[in-house]
Amino acid sequence: MFSFPAPSVYQSSKCFVTYGVMGHPDPQKLPSKGKPWSTLLSQDFVHKVDLILPAELVQLVEDKLTGDPSRAPEFYKVIMTVGQIVEGDFFTEYIKIGMLTMYLDKETYERAGLVGKPHGVKGKRGLKPRWVVQFDLRSPSMLHGKKGFDRLAYACKNVFNAPVTWFFHNLSKTPVPDPLSRHYPVKYTSHPKVSENISTRLPLLKPPIAILSNQNQSELDEFATDIYEWLSLVRLDSPRINIDDKIDPYLSNYTIPGAPDDLQEGKLCRISWQGFIPPRWTRQTLAEVILALPAKSWFSLSTTTFARDIVGDSADCTILRPPNSSGEYLLWDIRKQN
């Protein structure tokens, strides 16, 4: 594992890259420990998921991933005050079993009178200071009449009293009657978007044996950076990776990594989901892709979480299974550094 140094004092994310071997997943008991599984599960809710694979293999996963409507992630958008979240049946059925995390600007934090800690990297210039306040609502002290909870209730009544738009996803069994229904939620489904027959030139997607056997750090850094950039351009549907791209080199000097003789022409398929997606769903998707595809075929699965900062910092994870490998994988784990 290694990290790329941050290029400037204004950036606070680091990319950790791991090259390893993962075992074959048991569909009845999906792994939760060990990479890449633990990395996926450690993420917050995911905003976007992209699966990239050779176009000729898409039929092997299409029925499972796109043909079953019940498999698509579902979530709700609802308008509530913070006070409504921590009261009544909604609190006891949904919120009481978890953690309440709030990111506040300086003025709101001071008015609320709650205990928190500064959020973000020290020394960032030009950004407004923010504080993070957390309440473990599973704690016995989080009950009406207890000092800690009453301070939160006071802040909800006097400071956090404006309606806010929330995304909601139920991680457990829905109670009957559902306390969410009285707040008129709007239901959304993250239907997959399939982009087929993306014509491109394929770089070598597996680190050369010489790099791995010699444990050459600088060459592995360069290889991992080049492949991650190429996969990112595929995710962005960039014309730079198209086989017939003829951009003026004055406007862009990007070239697909690798010697011209090593590049192979091929067609890709990209399956994308966008919404409010729990990390357990992305773990399930990774397992289903591994089980559906031939062992020697390659694919890439990428996830991007929601930003927790006004500047848009978010976590990103990309898993690549190289071609002709026995469970080997490359993992790019981009995290915000506090």
Say how far apart CA 302 and CA 317 lie, in whole Å.
Answer: 6
Give the DSSP letter of residue 23.
P
Question: How does 149-159 read in b/e, with b if 16+ C-beta sit within 10 Å?
Answer: beebbebbeeb
Model pLDDT, residue 2: 34
Give the DSSP letter of residue 117.
E
The answer to which of 112-116, 118-122, 173-177, 309-313 has the lowest mean pLDDT is 309-313
Question: How does 184-218 read in b/e, with b if 16+ C-beta sit within 10 Å?
Answer: ebeeeebebeeeeebebbbbbbbbeeebeeeeeee
Among the listed residues 92, 22, 101, 100, the one whose alpha carbon sits nearest the alpha carbon of residue 291? 22
Model pLDDT, residue 93: 85
Question: Predicted confidence band at 5 (pLDDT cuts at 50, 70, 90)?
Answer: very low
User: Is it the case that residue 4 has pLDDT exceeding 50?
Assistant: no
User: Is it the case that residue 152 has pLDDT exceeding 80?
Assistant: yes
Question: Predicted confidence band at 206 (pLDDT cuts at 50, 70, 90)?
Answer: confident
Average pLDDT over every residue of 107-133:
78
Say how far apart CA 116 and CA 138 lie, in whole Å.
Answer: 18
- List, as one string, the DSSP characters of 317-329: EEEEE-TT-SSEE
pTM for the predicted model, two decimal places: 0.88
217-240, pLDDT tens digit by residue? 788 888 999 999 999 999 999 999
Model pLDDT, residue 55: 95
126-145, pLDDT tens digit by residue? 466 788 999 888 888 888 88
Model pLDDT, residue 67: 80
Strands (E), the chain: 2-4, 13-21, 46-54, 74-80, 99-105, 117-119, 130-136, 164-168, 186-189, 193-202, 264-277, 299-305, 316-321, 328-336
Dihedral through CA 223, CA 226, CA 231, CA 233, nearest 10? 180
How much is the CA Rg of the chain, to the nearest whole Å?
23
Among the listed residues 132, 169, 135, 163, the one whose alpha carbon sits nearest the alpha carbon of residue 47? 169
Model pLDDT, residue 10: 43
